[in-house]
A and B are shown apart, each in its own frame.
Chain A
Amino acid sequence: MAAPRSFLWSRRIFLTLLTGFVLLPVYVMLSSSLKPLQDVSGEFRWVPSGLTIRPYIDIWSTVPLAKYFVNSLIVAGAATVCSVVIAIFAAYGVSRYRFRGKRLFTVTVLSTQMFPGILFLLPLFLIYVNIGNATGLALFGSRIGLILTYLTFSLPFSIWMLIGYFESVPRDLDEAAMVDGCGPLGALFRVVVPAAVPGIVAVAVYAFMTAWGEVLFASVMTNDTTRTLAVGLQGYATQNDVYWNQVMAASLVVSVPVVAGFLLLQRYLVAGLTAGAVK
């Protein structure tokens, strides 16, 4: 279809404005992270008066950023792996079998998505403390508790997306594999999973981002040694002097891994959404 000239112009204007809106904070983050302190304390300047990499050196000593970084990597990484594996099993069960309670299961899991986090924050905290007292398993304040919590946040959406994705893999393929002597799980891992890689990558990206960005539970359920970036970053901003250049440098540093990963894998995410959520 030949687009009229007016369409091209309105498109150009709209997309330019939108790009500006999207990139404005990114520019502020990047430019402020390279400014000397007197620059970020006074009136805002579009162009820095001088460039310095000092903030990028100081962020590691102002707060123990490296420790928070490692904590976040462990928690988000483990939550992602567990969430993806569990979602694969569940989605396979739902997409390939008929059984009693199937509808109840999907409705139950999906409806947990609508619970306000605040509703189960305190009860969950109490449950973790009770389990800890009864079994000696330290769920509260440990990484395990946070991993358990985060993986259930991404699980419903992951299952939902993978059901759609698995259903787009022809059933004949895994049935043929089973005739050839694979078990159901052999068929799952040799046929269905390889065919659904884009969907699985999409789900993994989503799970990692969910865990990397969560604030509420991280601030209640961590202690000094298990604190994640979501809480640790507030360390720069609550002091008497706010080192805005360091805050911006730290924000940039914690964003780079997840944004880079996301942009590299976004093709898969779009493909995954097409086959899964949208179907």
Chain B
Amino acid sequence: MTVTAQPAVGEEALPGATGPTPRRRTGRVRRIALPYLLLLPALLLELLVHLVPMVIGIVMSFKELTQFYIRDWGAAPWAGFDNYSLSVDFDAPVGEALLHSFFVTCAFTVLSVGLCWLLGTTAAVYMQETFRGRGFLRAIFLIPYALPVYAAVITWAFMFQRDNGLVNHVLHDQLGLTDSPSFWLIGDNSFVALLVVSVWKGWPFAFLIVMAGLQNIPKELYEAAAIDGAGMVQQIRRITLPSLRPVNQVLVLVLFLWTFNDFNTPYVLFGKAAPEAADLISIHIYQSSFVTWNFGTGSAMSVLLLLFLLVVTGVYLALTSRGRRAADV
């Protein structure tokens, strides 16, 4: 779409424009159509890449879709709710593994979002006042956010190597905290490793958003509070945190959705099959679909995951007033 091709529409659409009736009518039609035309590309693309595949994904979850039918998935036999009952039969291996993965993901998400928020907010509050080197420090803090996920996570994977990694070198060789070098990318420690990487990568986003939010707090509020004798801690509790409420409500929701759905971090850190202790749900579903070639079950699990996220998001938005405003835009 070019700019020069369009002005005629606007001229005709101007409220005060006079002219022959038919022209004015087409002008009005165009004026009504214009917002839809502006939104059309975005809508079409989101439909093609997100909504239509999602609907197909839901259909697929009711089919017995194995590798034999992948070329012509429409021909796969109907499975009814078989895929779902298999996924939620928590006494059987498939359901049990899914439930385990779900709990791991919940624990991981709560810890990661909590720590990201805490680090980001603390750093932003400490850096609210100007001091020497503040701009430089801010640039450094944004590096984990800017680094491509795979480059950063590969570096962490190197640091977590058992024999030649930095982590064991420090904990075992230099500090002597462990009897023998630990495994970090397999076994129970893998949860800790994943959490550290996730927080390292995620907290700068919280920092960025909270920092932006802090700029909107008028300086006079602090001055007035200082005159009334409020100390540093009281000012943070009474002014900073309440003013950040609307920002935090959006921030926590976004962090929650990103962390819960995160695929890149565990995939680069552990590969196609994550250790049991760090078996995040997106990797688990990927494995159920692409490694064991059962796409029907994988789709059913995805739909269950989406339902869970919808319910959580819905409840969250209902509980926060900001949600209603955000939906209105």
Point out residues on A near B: beta carbons under 8 Å: 1, 3-4, 7, 11, 14-15, 18-19, 21-26, 28-29, 32, 40-44, 86-87, 89-90, 92-94, 96-97, 99, 102-103, 105-110, 112-120, 122-124, 126-127, 148-149, 151-152, 155-156, 159-160, 163, 178-179, 181-187, 189, 209, 212-216, 220, 229-230, 233-234, 237, 244, 247-248, 251-252, 254-255, 258-259, 262-263, 266, 269-270, 273-274, 277-278
B68 nearest CB across to chain A (Å): 15
Question: Which residues of the other chain, B, contact A181 by a CB distance below 8 angstroms?
Answer: 7, 11
B89 on the A face (CB < 8 A): no
Judge whether B10 and A93 touch: CB under 8 Å.
Answer: no
Judge whether B126 and A25 touch: CB under 8 Å.
Answer: no
B147 on the A face (CB < 8 A): yes
Judge whether B150 and A233 touch: CB under 8 Å.
Answer: yes
Contact among B9, B164, B302, B327 with A107 in the assembled complex (CB-CB below 8 Å): B327
6 contacts between A and B (CB under 8 A): A1-B232, A86-B42, A106-B327, A118-B298, A259-B143, A270-B212
Question: Which residues of the other chain, B, contact A148 by a CB distance below 8 angstroms?
Answer: 45, 48-49
Judge whether A106 and B264 touch: CB under 8 Å.
Answer: no
Contacts known (A212-B148, A274-B216); A25 close to B54, Cβ less than 8 A: no
Cα distance, A173 to B263, chains bound together (Å): 44
B139 on the A face (CB < 8 A): yes
Cα distance, A188 to B286, chains bound together (Å): 43
B110 nearest CB across to chain A (Å): 17
Judge whether B50 and A152 touch: CB under 8 Å.
Answer: yes
B206 nearest CB across to chain A (Å): 12
Contact among A102, A127, A255, A263 with B139 in the assembled complex (CB-CB below 8 Å): A263
Cα distance, A155 to B211, chains bound together (Å): 24
The count of chain B contact residues (Cβ–Cβ below 8 Å) is 114
Judge whether A233 and B209 touch: CB under 8 Å.
Answer: no
B131 nearest CB across to chain A (Å): 8
Contacts known (A32-B158, A106-B327, A186-B7); A214 close to B212, Cβ less than 8 A: no
Contacts known (A115-B54, A120-B57, A270-B208); A44 close to B303, Cβ less than 8 A: no
B249 nearest CB across to chain A (Å): 11
Judge whether B38 and A127 touch: CB under 8 Å.
Answer: no
Cβ-closest chain B residue relative to A107: B327
Cα distance, A263 to B306, chains bound together (Å): 35
Question: Which residues of the other chain, A, contact B83 by a CB distance below 8 angstroms?
Answer: none
SS class, residues of chain B in contact with chain A: helix
Contacts known (A117-B261, A185-B3); A123 close to B146, Cβ less than 8 A: no
What per-residue 1/0 map shows which CB atoms of B37-49 lie under 8 Å from chain A? 1110111011011
Judge whether A103 and B328 touch: CB under 8 Å.
Answer: yes
Contacts known (A89-B41, A215-B263, A269-B208); A97 close to B46, Cβ less than 8 A: no
Point out residues on B near A: beta carbons under 8 Å: 1, 3, 6-11, 13-14, 32, 34-39, 41-43, 45-46, 48-54, 56-57, 60, 73, 119, 122-123, 126-127, 129, 137-152, 154-159, 161, 163-166, 168-169, 173, 200, 204, 208-209, 211-213, 215-216, 222-223, 226, 231-232, 235, 247, 250, 254, 257, 260-261, 263-264, 267-268, 281-282, 285-286, 289-290, 295, 298-299, 302-303, 305-306, 309-310, 313, 326-329
Judge whether B306 and A115 touch: CB under 8 Å.
Answer: yes
Contacts known (A152-B50, A183-B7, A233-B154); A263 close to B142, Cβ less than 8 A: yes
B60 nearest CB across to chain A (Å): 7
Contact among B145, B263, B295 with A216 in the assembled complex (CB-CB below 8 Å): B263
Judge whether A28 and B53 touch: CB under 8 Å.
Answer: no
Question: Which residues of the other chain, B, contact A89 by a CB distance below 8 angstroms?
Answer: 1, 38-39, 41-42
Contact among B147, B204, B289 with A255 in the assembled complex (CB-CB below 8 Å): B147
Judge whether B56 and A14 touch: CB under 8 Å.
Answer: no
Question: Which residues of the other chain, B, contact A14 by a CB distance below 8 angstroms?
Answer: 122-123, 126
Contact among B14, B42, B302 with A116 in the assembled complex (CB-CB below 8 Å): B302
Judge whether B154 and A28 touch: CB under 8 Å.
Answer: no
Cβ-closest chain A residue relative to B126: A11
Contacts known (A14-B122, A28-B155, A86-B41); A119 close to B163, Cβ less than 8 A: no
Judge whether B142 and A266 touch: CB under 8 Å.
Answer: yes
Question: Which residues of the other chain, B, contact A149 by a CB distance below 8 angstroms?
Answer: 49
Question: Which residues of the other chain, B, contact A90 by a CB distance below 8 angstroms?
Answer: 38-39, 41-43
